[in-house]
Amino acid sequence: MINQLMMLKQRLPALLGFLPVTLACNAISGAGEKPNFIIILADDLGYNDLGCYGTKTPGISTPNIDLLALEGIRFTDWQSAHSISGPSRASILTGRYPSRCGYPVSSNEKAPMHYEHLGLPQDEVTIAGMLRPGGYYTAAIGKWHLGENPAFRPLRHGFDEYFGCMHNFPVGGIAQDIYEGDSIIGKETYENIHRQLTDRAIEVMGKAKEKGKPFFIYLAHYLTHGPWEPGRYFTTPEEWDARMYYKGKMNKYVFPAMVRELDYNVGRLMEALRQMGLDKNTVIFFLSDNGPWLTKNEALSAGCAWPLRGSKFNTFEGGHRVPAIVSWPAVIKGGTVCSDPVSSLDILPAIAALSGTALPDRIIDGIDISPLFYAYEVKGIKERELLYYHATNLQAVRLGEWKLHLPRLPYMVHFMGRRNVGRGTIDSLDVPMLFRLSDDPGEKQNVADLYPDIVTRLKARADERKKELGDWDTIGYAEHKLTVAKDSIIKRPLIK
């Protein structure tokens, strides 16, 4: 377990003669080349939905993902920057909070205003845009969900190629448009797309190897988001009967098969890396975009966040604390477990450090967590600043073990944050709630009355952040200007 570690630079000089971190990576790996990077992003996978996280759900088996953990580092306090898909993805790719990078809520292909005007702005620098000038071959594969308008698509954000469906698949086996770059090349169903995503990722790895280039692959699976239509090959007879009975609608009975299908495709990717001799010097980030989709009806839910409170759509730990693994066989000591608070915002700064690439010239909210990857040699990363939990309005603030939930009313929250689909969502809160996560990760015991000084301290920091990144009725001074007035998304003043 890694707690309050010292900075990497305190030990590397003695070990490596003051070599910079990038050269240290090469020295340790023996590759003499820049590492490759793959982000494998699962959709709506809960904290307790993998074998290596002690799943309590019968039928879930994840030997390939568990192997990633055995060969790498598993995080027990990895925080998504948002509990909804689109903003979470924007933060992964930019290292910036959703309001700062201009994508505070998900666009909706069924809403013309959203479709035309809401997406990740072109002036934001993604991981791909950061790496490509340094010689990396970059590919986005799978779910985009950062704007379907051509102005917001992957090729506008530093990716050399894109393959997949821009948004989610609907329930009912309905085929959706599949894009190759900016062009629609045909239609495909949810059931048949998953193998194709892995095929394309393997193809990209081979192409980059042939070109002699390092690569960055952003592989965003549609699993385990709905429709709940796992492939026949991955289901038991009972699970297949449930799939046919519910006709693709959310239910817990087919969910284990969807997790097994995800694991199967992760295994195919890992095997291809080994066969190509690329596994040792490829850094894999495996994580979920947010917590599981849970409702008040246990049978009509999907996934598990045990022992955490809440789910997707809200700012309790169940919506934000997600399974996350980093594997890098050449460097990371297998079987490492980290309990330090880590965020999806941290991926971009870590990749910048490991690739020897300068950070984008702007505020980056994530921190460089790459020193954790050398934990068997080094004992530290810098202590992180506060973590903020936005749902258009600022709902919670965390510093270390303390997490403060802020007062709110239903009209302050974008509809995706107050829909009656997130288990445990609180639309109205009169007074702050304070939880000590080190003793109470399930956020069961409100200790605000016992620690009024901490409540006051965190509330003051929250007020500062609202001025910076905005709130339901405030446009922050550092909030990215949108091309659409925000009152089309939520009741708030027009952007000037």
At residue 427, the pLDDT reads 83
* The domain boundary residue, chosen from 327, 343, 374: 374
Q: Does residue 313 contact residue 42 with C-beta atoms inside 8 Å?
A: no
What is the rounded average pLDDT of the residues 364-384? Answer: 75
What is the rounded average pLDDT of the residues 345-353? Answer: 97
pLDDT tens digits for range 403-440: 999 999 888 876 665 555 678 888 889 999 999 999 99
* The domain boundary residue, chosen from 374, 396, 425: 374
At residue 385, the pLDDT reads 75
What is the rounded average pLDDT of the residues 210-217? Answer: 97
Is the same domain home to 112 and 15? Answer: yes
* The domain boundary residue, chosen from 342, 374, 406: 374
In a domain, 60, yes or no: yes
Is the same domain home to 424 and 320? Answer: no
Number of domains in the chain: 2
Is the same domain home to 221 and 131? Answer: yes
In a domain, 3, yes or no: no
pLDDT tens digits for range 248-268: 999 999 999 999 999 999 999
Closest CA to 436 of 450, 447, 425, 426: 447
From CA 294, how far away is CA 46, in angstroms rounded?
10
pLDDT tens digits for range 28-75: 444 458 999 999 999 999 999 999 999 999 999 999 999 999 999 999
At residue 27, the pLDDT reads 41
Is the same domain home to 313 and 393? Answer: no
At residue 198, the pLDDT reads 98
Strand partners, 177: 187
Is the same domain home to 363 and 439? Answer: no
In a domain, 335, yes or no: yes
Closest CA to 189 of 170, 215, 217: 170
**pLDDT-derived band at 383, boundaries 50, 70, 90:** low
What's this model's pTM, rounded to 2 decimal places?
Answer: 0.91
Structure tokens at 250: 């959310």
- Within 8 A by CB and 6+ apart from 42, the residues are 221, 223, 224, 262, 286, 287, 288, 289, 323
In a domain, 234, yes or no: yes
| HSE value, Cβ hemisphere, 13 Å, CA-based, for 381 | 24
Is the same domain home to 334 and 402? Answer: no
In a domain, 493, yes or no: no
At residue 421, the pLDDT reads 63
CATH number, domain with residue 234: 3.40.720.10
- Within 8 A by CB and 6+ apart from 423, the residues are 294, 295, 296, 301, 310, 311, 314, 318
In a domain, 496, yes or no: no
Closest CA to 126 of 108, 106, 140: 140
Is the same domain home to 435 and 336? Answer: no
pLDDT tens digits for range 94-148: 999 999 999 988 876 666 666 677 899 999 999 999 999 999 999 999 999 998 8
Which domain covers residue 86, as residue numbers?
8-374
In a domain, 415, yes or no: yes
Q: Please list the alpha-helical segments (H only) found in 172-276.
A: 190-211, 237-246, 255-275
Is the same domain home to 309 and 428? Answer: no
At residue 376, the pLDDT reads 53
In a domain, 381, yes or no: no
Is the same domain home to 112 and 67? Answer: yes
What is the rounded average pLDDT of the residues 364-391? Answer: 78
- Share the mean pLDDT of the chain: 88
Is the same domain home to 437 and 394? Answer: yes
Is the same domain home to 260 and 183? Answer: yes
Is the same domain home to 213 and 171? Answer: yes
CATH number, domain with residue 391: 3.30.1120.10
